Structure 1
Amino acid sequence: MNLVPSNFFIQLVAFAILFWLLSRYAFKPLFGIMEQRRQLVKEQMENAQNNRSDSERLLEEQKQALQQARKEAHDIIEQARTTGSKQADEIVQAARNESSRIKEEAVRDIDTEKNKAVAALKAEVSGLSVQIASKIIGKQVDEQSQKQLVDEYLQEVGNKS
């Protein structure tokens, strides 16, 4: 290898000119594009980090909202159960009251019918008694006397029983 100083000097000057031309016309735009790309990547990374932070925050908010909704649903279910039990108790109590009222009404109706039957029986017995007595005695007893006789007879029967 032969090193010729003039060739070396020419090559060095050519390299310096080439480097100056490249740095002026090629490296500056290339470095500018690379700097823009670096800025773009940096912005995208920052945006990604911000988006991730936002998503984590939104996820936490959604979890809290879901938990709150579950709690509200549970409260609503408990309230419905309580209301249902209360209404069931009210319905049962109303049914008991109604059955008591119907029973009392039936007892009153029975007493009324019993009293009517006793009165009808008394009237029939008095009529039969008068007829029997008239046949036995052989004379006709007037209605007032008949009533008085029946009442006395019923009193005697009532006192004996």
Structure 2
Amino acid sequence: MGIVGSVLLLATEAAEAESPGGFGLNFNILETNIINLAILIGVLFYFGRKVISNTLSERRSNIETAIREAEERAKEAAAQLSDAQQKLTQAQAEAQQIRKAAEENARSVREAILARAAEEVERMKETAARDLDTERERAFAELRQRVVAMALQKAESELRSGIGDDAQQRLIDSSIALLGGNT
């Protein structure tokens, strides 16, 4: 018979001792509770000590393992954060370099375009000036030809009508003046 059986036997004997006629209930709370609690604590202490000790030690080791794993994950996260921050810093530096290079490239392209435009404008001015000079010379040559032709026509008509020496001299002088000579 085990401890539980012994406890029941003691409780039964105690009840029989108080009531001689058989089984009875002991209503004295202090006597019954103290005995019951002592027995219960003794049983729990005897049987539960190993179970509770094993459960607590297992729980402690689980907690320690969880703490170690959390610390390792925290270290890994800190290392990853450091790497990410370093990569971000590098990326920002590279972006700054790319931006500076793009600005420099844009500046040089703009200057090249402005230089080409200035050269083109200058070339167009020179071409326009040459064309103007050519047109002016052509216009003067055409005008001279017309003046000469008109002078010749007038001279011929004067010759046919019989002009005098002083009229011929005036005609020659005016023709020469028209052609740009001096009299």
Asked if these proteins are the same fold (TM beyond 0.5), I'd say: yes
2:67 counterpart residue number:
45
Code of the aligned partner of 2:58: Q
**1:89 CA displacement:** 0.5
2:100 counterpart residue number:
78
**1:115 CA displacement:** 1.6
**1:156 CA displacement:** 9.7
**1:69 CA displacement:** 1.2
Separation in 2 of the partners of 1:91 and 1:21?
97
2:149 counterpart residue number:
127
Separation in 2 of the partners of 1:115 and 1:21?
132
In structure 2, relative to structure 1, the CA distance for the partners of 1:19 and 1:99 (3 Å cut) is: same
Code of the aligned partner of 1:79: A
1:114 counterpart residue number:
136
From 90, 99, 106, the counterpart of 1:68: 90
Separation in 1 of the partners of 2:145 and 2:88?
84
Root-mean-square deviation (CA), in Å? 3.0
Gaps of 5+ in 1: 1-14, 141-149
1:56 counterpart residue number:
78
What SS is found at the alignment partner of 1:138? Answer: helix
**1:132 CA displacement:** 2.0
Q: Could you give the per-residue CA deviations for residues 84-142 of structure 1, whole angstroms, max 9, x where no partner exists?
A: 101100110110111112111111211221121011101110111112222333369xx
Code of the aligned partner of 1:80: A
Which structure has more RCO (C-alpha within 8 Å, separation ≥ 6)?
Answer: 1
Aligned-pair identity in percent equals: 25
- TM-score scaled by length of structure 2: 0.63
**1:48 CA displacement:** 1.6
Separation in 1 of the partners of 2:44 and 2:151?
156
Separation in 2 of the partners of 1:130 and 1:58?
105
Gaps of 5+ in 2: 1-37, 163-171
1:145 counterpart residue number:
none
In structure 2, relative to structure 1, the CA distance for the partners of 1:131 and 1:26 (3 Å cut) is: same
From 75, 78, 88, the counterpart of 2:110: 88
2:126 counterpart residue number:
104
1:144 counterpart residue number:
none
Larger of the two Rg values belongs to structure: 2
- TM-score scaled by length of structure 1: 0.71
**1:20 CA displacement:** 9.2
